[in-house]
Amino acid sequence: MVVKRLIPAAILVAALSIPPVTSAHAEADAESLVNALNAVFGKHAGQRAAHTHGVCVKGSFMPTAEAASLTKAPHFNSKTPVGVIGRFSMGGGDPNASNAQKDNVRGMALHFDIGNGSTTDLVMISAPVFNARDPDQFLALLKTVETKDKDKIAAFFKANPNTTRQAEWLNARPVPASFATVNYWGIHAFTFTNAEGKKQIFKYKALPVGGEAGLSDAEAKAKDPDFYRPELKERLAKGPAKFTLTAILGEPGDPLDDPTAFWPEDKRKSVTLGRLSITGLEDDKTCDAGIFDPTNVVDGIEGPENDKIFAIRSPAYGVSFARRSK
């Protein structure tokens, strides 16, 4: 579609909003954001409005003792592996988004089984920043992209440089060779509380145990657009795909309300929270039966108070779920 040629897919993708300069009339709510996603990517009956192209997986998570010192959350205090259902995805609402896209995020969404039929969720993307500061900025971005007007789109990015950071970051890196060979970030600043009541602000980051692996542009171009699913199946037949889940610890002054702002990761302490092992593919219906909800946290973990993108995600996912469940 024309839009794709004009704009990095990452900008159309996963987490969305737009700045005040051009968004004087934008009044984003969950419904208007999902409508705008549908307008950009098309309506696809029975499918997600974003991160449409994906694959459901299963596995387990084993926390470290250090995780328990940071939080009383049950999955970080378990003495035995915690069951996990997950979904890897391409950003954006195109059900046929090519796995070879460079300027698009990969998603990793997880349900941790915390017993008694309850889960807690963690949703991450393969970049440290989102492409909008708040829902109005995301709506303005989507509405501008929807016009397919090259000049308007260029003007929007010029006026809203924070919305291009994610695409710039992705374009400076190779296409991930697999869903299992790229780092993922939780984007928002969460707060852990431990058994003594001590609080710690942090951001999630998951790193493949075998390290990152990417493709050259020529290699990526030669790939089938749907190569990740068979690649994952083949990989998992040989053994689990393992990730180290970490917490990057925040320090005073780190931005807590702007998901387009980088944290100086190399200057921050990182704590290993545990080992995620993806062991096999799971029926996609298991993942489609509900939403992966970033606000579905447990005692011992809190989401950010003033991050407007974080606040609107759960309702937006609810709208998408209601529509795809009809």
- Per CB under 6 A, residues contacting ligand HEM are 14-17, 33-34, 37, 48-51, 54, 87, 89, 107, 109, 123-125, 130, 135, 138, 187, 259, 291-292, 309, 312-313, 316-317, 320-321, 324
Residue 51 or 165: which CB sits closer to ligand HEM? 51
Closest to ligand HEM by CB, 98 vs 320, is 320
From the CB of 166, what's the least distance to ligand HEM, in Å? 10
State the minimum distance, in angstroms, from the CB of residue 242 to ligand HEM: 20
| Least distance in angstroms from the C-beta of 208 to ligand HEM | 17
Residue placing its CB nearer to ligand HEM in the complex, 190 or 317: 317
- CA nearest to 320, candidates 22, 89, 84, 23: 89
The residue (of 227 and 321) whose beta carbon lies closer to ligand HEM is 321
Query: Which CB, 68 or 129, lies closer to ligand HEM?
Result: 129
Supply the minimum distance, in Å, between the C-beta of residue 12 and ligand HEM. 12
CA distances from 316 to 30, 32, 54, 78 (A): 4, 9, 19, 32
Nearest of 223, 225, 206, 207 to residue 215 by alpha carbon: 223
Of the candidates 274, 319, 238, 320, the one whose C-alpha atom is nearest the C-alpha of residue 62 is 274
- Nearest approach in angstroms of CB 218 to ligand HEM is 28
Please, which residue, 231 or 307, has the CB nearer to ligand HEM? 307
Look up tokens 């990182």; give the residue. Answer: 270
Count of CB atoms situated within 10 Å of the CB of 52: 22
The amino acid present at 6, given as its one-letter code, is L
Residue 79, both tokens = 């003495």
Q: Minimum CB separation from ligand HEM for residue 300, in Å?
A: 20
Nearer to ligand HEM, 35 or 244 (CB): 35
* 8 Å CB contact between 14 and 125: yes
CA nearest neighbour of 102 among 180, 186, 187, 8: 8
Q: Quick one: how many helices (H) and strands (E) in the chain? A: 11, 12
Give the C-alpha separation, 88 to 17, whole Å.
22
In the complex, the smallest distance separating the C-beta of residue 132 from ligand HEM, rounded to whole angstroms, is 7
Q: How far apart are CA 48 and CA 142, in angstroms?
A: 16
Tokens representing residue 42 in the block: 């098309």
How big is the chain by its Cα radius of gyration, in Å? 19
